[in-house]
Chains A and B, each alone.
Chain A
Amino acid sequence: MKFEPRPADHSVNVTARHPLADATILVLGLGGVLLLVTIVLAFFADALVARISVKTEMRWFGGMSLPTVVDEFETTSTSEEQALSDLLERLTQHWESDYTFRMRISDSAAPNALAFPGGLIVVTRGLLDNVESENELAFVLAHELGHFRNRDHLRGLGRGAAVSLVVGAMTSGGSGGFGFGVADIALRGFGREQETDADVFALSMVYAEYGHVGESWRFFERIQSAYGDGNAVLNYLETHPLPSSRIDDLKRLARERDWPTEGTLVPWNPGSDTPQD
């Protein structure tokens, strides 16, 4: 037999499918499944939170001071803190709940207010130093009360747990970053919805207290003029709705409910003894 050398056929060892096709199927498929799992887990967490009564929450978290979350508290009980508590108490008269609220002032210069489990509300020095009227501050506090009414702070914990579960499952496969990205983005929509709900609640509360909703969106206006709306594409990924769209939503709501958008403003100047003109 005459031997005739031929080139070997190597095609069997390498799958002909393009690597990018493989990558697309994997990323879209896995991303979709993870998205679904995160959303289902988040719904379970929400259902669980709905079964935890406010009384139970106060028992679990009532004594919590959270020094690790908020940098530093101002410890002195100033007239400003007293004024804040008074304002909060007036607002809570429009909403019956089992919560016992506590107010704290944080040293942070970034204007912000935060709601924590157990009825703890933290406002920053940066917010207090910049508010122009009590009405503006009342809206921000009422917004945090809205988070308590919707149990958002607890739902946040539940969803955090859901994300941790998904990330944990992915990490054992060596792709924790991918899992975290997907889970995080899946829950951003929820976050924005929560903010909008709290805004609606806050506006109704401000109306109940003052009889008008003037200056309610002053806080967002100042944020917008300071930071702008930012990049439109990146904003899709933000946890909070855009300041401009929040202002629009609030104005529309006031128009629909026939709430006056102008009225007598109450000055906010605790600490200074001379009344503002």
Chain B
Amino acid sequence: MGEFTLLVNIGLPLTVLVIAYLTGSYLERRHFADIRKREARMQRFPTTTFETLPDDWEVADCELMAESVVVSLDYFKRVIAGLRAIIGGRITTYEPLLDRARREAVLRVTEKAKAEGFDAVINLRLETSRLANSDSGQGIGGVEILAFGTALLRTQR
């Protein structure tokens, strides 16, 4: 009798955990590889957090760029974070998630600015909002990062 119950109670969650770990870490590796490649490509595109322009710049056009990204938690990360929440300490499984979301959001702003022909993005800001309903621990866990900045087009000399 007990074998089936045991299978359902222990085997099933364990299987989901393993699948979540495999898919989660595969997607994460792939995303990081993609981010690094795109960051290298955007390396020479001026992006600053300054609110002011360099003195010798003359601006022909400007536009607000606001791009957001939402990255979901996987079951494995959530379970480990749940255990971590009992004893406290750094939730290291969440760190790559935030890092990915931040860098992806900044890339979306700069890539869009470049694609639309702008020369630089200044006054870049990051905002984060909480999608997960963390009061009850239920709901979809994830992170949303909004990046926005002012894209500038310089007058040609």
Interface residues, chain A, CB within 8 Å of chain B? 5-8, 10, 13-15, 17, 19-20, 22-23, 26-27, 29-30, 170, 173-175, 177-178, 181, 230-231, 234, 237-238
Contacts and interface: CB of A to CB of B under 8 A. Distances in A.
Interface string B64-105: 000000000000110110111111001011011011001100
Interface in B6-59: 6, 9-10, 13, 21, 25, 39-40, 43-44
Contacts of A23: 76, 80, 83
29 contacts: A5-B43, A5-B44, A7-B40, A7-B43, A13-B95, A13-B98, A15-B92, A17-B92, A19-B80, A22-B80, A22-B92, A23-B80, A26-B83, A26-B84, A26-B87, A27-B83, A30-B83, A30-B86, A30-B87, A170-B86, A175-B83, A175-B86, A177-B13, A181-B9, A181-B10, A230-B3, A234-B2, A237-B2, A238-B2
Contact of A14 (B9, B83, B85, B96): B96
Contacts of A7: 39-40, 43
A174 B83 CA distance: 8
B139 interface: no
B120 to A, nearest CB: 12
A231 B137 contact: no
Contact of A19 (B82, B83, B86, B92): B92
A22 B2 contact: no
Most chain A beta carbons < 10 A, residue from B21, B44, B79: B79
A237 B6 contact: yes
A181 B10 CA distance: 8
B103 A10 contact: yes
Contacts of B92: 14-15, 17, 19, 22
How many interface residues does chain B have, given as a range?
20 to 34
Contacts of B90: 15
B14 to A, nearest CB: 11
A175 B99 CA distance: 26
A234 B11 CA distance: 12
Given A6-B43, A19-B93, A174-B82, 19 more contacts: A7-B43, A10-B103, A13-B95, A13-B98, A15-B90, A19-B25, A19-B80, A20-B21, A23-B80, A26-B84, A26-B87, A30-B86, A170-B86, A173-B85, A174-B85, A175-B82, A178-B83, A234-B3, A234-B6
Contacts of A170: 86
Contacts of A22: 80, 84, 92-93
A13 B40 CA distance: 19
Q: Which 3 A-B pairs have the closest CB atoms?
A: A173-B86, A15-B92, A26-B83
A56 to B, nearest CB: 34
Contacts of B85: 173-174
A243 B55 CA distance: 89
Contacts of B2: 234, 237-238
Nearest to B86: A173
A17 B85 CA distance: 18
Contacts of A5: 43-44
Nearest to B28: A19
A11 to B, nearest CB: 10
Nearest to A176: B82
A234 B99 CA distance: 42
B72 to A, nearest CB: 16
Contacts of B103: 10
A87 to B, nearest CB: 28
Nearest to A21: B92
Nearest to A17: B92
Contact of B76 (A19, A30, A230): A19
A163 B2 CA distance: 19
Nearest to A13: B99
